[in-house]
Structure 1
Amino acid sequence: MNKAVSETSKGVAYGLAAYTMWGSFPLYFALFEGIPAWEVLIHRVVWSCVFLAVVISLLKRWSPVKVALRRPKRLGFVLGCAIFIALNWGIYIYAVETRQVMQASLGYFLTPLVNVAMGMLILGERISRLQVVAVVLAAVAIVYQIVLLGVLPWITLALAFSFGTYGLMRKKVDLDGLSGLFVETLLLLPLGLLALAWLSAQEMSHLAESTNSALLLMSSGIVTAIPLLAFAGAARRLRLSTVGFLMYINPTLQFLIAMYVFHEPLGTEKLISFVMIWVALAIYSWSAWNGRARA
């Protein structure tokens, strides 16, 4: 029993570490001021691949990677995952650079509900009435923003649907998080290296601009991989429901950073849409918790 409690405590610690790091990403990506989001994205892909290769070597986890690479016909789903996660990364970096972190946080609040909607519409999964109510309420919140603010919250929607689609395609890939992300970045590596070569040829690269910018760009690989390793440690030790509740730490921290660090405006209309999403999440979480308890 003591061992089980100890493992659960470690799992919670790993989960808190992972989601706190992810939630603090706005502070990290704000350091790239002056470097275009697409260039930061290129470096994040390249250096993530390099660092993950080192981690996989240290952990001696090359076996699943080799198996995946020997099945080129099944790499289509992995490539799809790579494209959607790169799209998600790029939009998120742009959101931080343009100080639209609040919209980004709303996107990650919305993601679980997008996952539920996709599961129902695409996979034919059955969901409870309360979960239907939660999805409808979230949709109303987005329509409310469009009508009253007169602006399509494209960052919110793009982040939620790109990550939701990534999760949907990830179900078709028989790889753990670490190996999967490595293969995804590996497939994008040739394109990333070509882009870096072009930037250097055009004398537009920030890599050689200064030691600080070079170290900052290279650190993006480490910053990407470390929360993933912590999350893997949590996922192995905790129930899915516990991991699901810890997940809300990420967008909550982003929301607080947007408001108190970046001083982004929060008008009444925007606040109401956030409250509607939060209520939808509370309904969804209550329904999911009760469903698992009964099971």
Structure 2
Amino acid sequence: MYQDKEFKKGILFALLAYVMWGTLPLYWALIHDVDPIETLMYRIVLSLIFMLILLPIIGRWQQFAQDMAQLKAKPFKLLIIILAGYIVTVNWGTFIYAIDAGFVLQTSLGYYINPLVSILLSMIFFKERFNRLEWVAILFAVLGVVYMTFKVGEFPYISLILAFSFGIYGLLKKLVPMPALSSITIESLATAPMAIIYLIIVGQTADLSIGWNMSTFWLLFSGAVTALPLLSFSEGAIRIPLSLMGFIQYVGPTLIFILGIFVFKEPFNIDQFITFCFIWVGIVIYVISQIIKIKKRPQPLQYQN
């Protein structure tokens, strides 16, 4: 009964995380008066402040201190975490720019492609072997990108930057496993000096975009907006299998796709639809391949008393 209750809670936490991530375009659209680069820099600083407040409140400060001590003793791993912080900053910045510039559908496409990019990176760097279905899934993703480039006449650079930056970020995180909250705090610590220096220079040489307006008001919540989905995700990940989490992840890009068409009213013609169809077919094939893998895993022996 307890395990069943925890499993259901895990699904709810996972869904909540991806619903929050999937509706982020609505939040960033509220900050349209602030320059995208400034928004990114404030997000880094405010994320750090929020995490430093949150960790002791939820009782994770000791865990964070232990993780920091371990990294200090292993400089190479610390370097990887710092690099991960800058890679995810590229991802954040691209996402914020895309929403501001009217490329919501490209962000959706990028996060649909991301799992396929991740398995490709795993093959290259970890020499993991994949079955035919996974190769076919990657092929359909490539066909979608090629079709969009030559038929639609628009190279999906935003989609690819989002997919590869988050894929590389995941790759680096795999090299240095660490609790999510500790990780994002350390990443924010690593990138905060860059953000603070940028804001000081811009503040002295030009006018900052912030002021007494609603965009600035909403910007103050960017730290919480960064951390809360991650917290929900980590609570879900410890309660449900990673394979199930992998299926739930498509809630995010699906919501972004719906918002792009029905809320942001982005153009969506037949060629763009065909592009997404290539990606969707690839995802369906990928999901099927994962289901087959799960079924082939040896089941634990059941002992009877």
Q: Report what 1:189 is aligned to.
A: 192
Deviates more, 1:196-205 or 1:110-119: 196-205
With normalisation by structure 1, the TM-score equals 0.96
Question: CA 1:73–1:175 in 2, change beyond 3 Å: closer, same or farther?
Answer: same
The alpha carbon displacement at 1:176 in A equals: 1.4
Q: Report what 1:47 is aligned to.
A: 46
Structure 1 unaligned spans of 5+: none
1:19 aligns with 2:11: no
Matches within 5 A, 1:25-104: 25-58=24-57, 59=59, 60=61, 61-62=63-64, 63-104=66-107
1:135 aligns with 2:135: no
1:145 aligns with 2:148: yes
Q: Distance in 2 between matches of 1:70 and 1:31?
A: 43
Kindly provide the CA deviation profile for residues 18-68 of structure 1, in whole angstroms up to 9, marking residues without a partner as x.
Answer: 000000000000011121111100011111011111122222332223322
Kindly provide the CA deviation profile for residues 71-109 of structure 1, in whole angstroms up to 9, marking residues without a partner as x.
Answer: 333221112111110000000001100111001000000
Question: CA 1:130–1:3 in 2, change beyond 3 Å: closer, same or farther?
Answer: same
Kindly provide the CA deviation profile for residues 209-255 of structure 1, in whole angstroms up to 9, marking residues without a partner as x.
Answer: 11644432221001000000000110010011111111000000000
Kept after mapping to 1: 8 A contact 2:148/2:271? yes
Q: Report what 2:255 is aligned to.
A: 253
Deviates more, 1:67-76 or 1:282-291: 67-76
Q: Report what 1:126 is aligned to.
A: 129
Kept after mapping to 1: 8 A contact 2:80/2:176? yes
Q: Distance in 1 between matches of 2:284 and 2:42?
A: 37
Q: Report what 1:111 is aligned to.
A: 114
Kept after mapping to 1: 8 A contact 2:35/2:209? no
Q: Distance in 1 between matches of 2:119 and 2:77?
A: 25
The alpha carbon displacement at 1:11 in A equals: 0.4
Deviates more, 1:142-151 or 1:87-96: 142-151
- In the alignment, residue 127 of structure 2 is paired with which amino acid? G
Q: Report what 1:284 is aligned to.
A: 286
- In the alignment, residue 137 of structure 2 is paired with which amino acid? A
- In the alignment, residue 80 of structure 1 is paired with which amino acid? L
2:212 to 171, 194, 210: 210
- In the alignment, residue 258 of structure 1 is paired with which amino acid? G
- In the alignment, residue 296 of structure 2 is paired with which amino acid? R
1:264 aligns with 2:253: no
Percent identity, aligned pairs only? 35
Kept after mapping to 2: 8 A contact 1:77/1:173? yes
Kept after mapping to 1: 8 A contact 2:30/2:215? no
The alpha carbon displacement at 1:278 in A equals: 0.5
Q: Distance in 2 between matches of 1:9 and 1:144?
A: 40
1:224 aligns with 2:223: no
Kept after mapping to 2: 8 A contact 1:206/1:213? no
Kept after mapping to 2: 8 A contact 1:11/1:238? yes
SS in 2 for 1:32: coil
Q: Distance in 2 between matches of 1:179 and 1:94?
A: 27
The alpha carbon displacement at 1:203 in A equals: 4.5
- In the alignment, residue 9 of structure 1 is paired with which amino acid? K
SS in 2 for 1:171: helix
Structure 2 unaligned spans of 5+: 298-305
1:274 aligns with 2:276: yes
Question: CA 1:29–1:114 in 2, change beyond 3 Å: closer, same or farther?
Answer: same
* Cα RMSD, aligned residues only: 1.3
Q: Distance in 2 between matches of 1:50 and 1:71?
A: 25
Q: Report what 2:300 is aligned to.
A: none
Kindly provide the CA deviation profile for residues 242-272 of structure 1, in whole angstroms up to 9, marking residues without a partner as x.
Answer: 1111100000000000000001111111100
Deviates more, 1:89-98 or 1:52-61: 52-61
- In the alignment, residue 246 of structure 2 is paired with which amino acid? G
SS in 2 for 1:224: helix
With normalisation by structure 2, the TM-score equals 0.93
